Amino acid sequence: AKTANFRSVPATYHEQTDVGHGRVEVRRYWLVNDISTLPKTQNWSGLQSVAMIESERHQGSHTTHESRYYITTLTGEAKIVAEAIRAHWGIENKLHWVLDVTFREDDSRIRRGNAPTNFNTLRQLSLNLIKHARSNMSVKQSRLRAAWNDSFRFKVLSQQ
């Protein structure tokens, strides 16, 4: 589809431009709803369409290009898929920010084997437990208090 510039493949198109933080980003979205020509679609339960996103980012004199592909259960217009993808990444970015502020995740030197995934899972579990402890402190303060205070740690872990 891409090599034919989507001329021979029915696809919907949407374009978005964002300006801010010293950069301009243009995202182009194509959504192909006809997946009948794709092989092995039965391997993807509920698959309805395929999306491609091209991102072009201009920051000063530097320009980067990136292409991403998605399979989805959504159908219809590329704009709907664009909004869903942007919402998903907004949630991901917000969660990463909280994990970084609370656990200094970006400073982690854990890099080998399954350790990064395992520690990320533990951090997310800890974050959820701390948030449910309903303290009037920040998440970071609650984490430190749980480390230093046995009764507060018990409250966090037992959800009492």
Q: How far apart are CA 60 and CA 57, in angstroms?
A: 10
Q: Torsion-angle region of residue 38: left (phi > 0), alpha (psi -120 to 50) or beta?
A: beta
What H or E segment, with its residue span, contains residue 49?
strand 49-59
Low-confidence ranges of the chain (pLDDT < 70): 1-7, 90-93
Per-residue pLDDT, 90 = 64
Neighbour tally for 149: CB within 10 Å: 12
Neighbour tally for 71: CB within 10 Å: 14
Residue with tokens 């399954």: 114
Per-residue pLDDT, 138 = 86
Residue ranges of domains in the chain: 1-107, 111-160
**Global pTM?**
0.56
Per-residue pLDDT, 2 = 57
Residue 65 DSSP label = E
According to CATH, the topology of domain 1-107 is S-adenosyl-L-methionine-dependent methyltransferases (2.20.130)
Neighbour tally for 121: CB within 10 Å: 11
- The answer to whether 54 and 67 are in contact (CB under 8 A) is yes
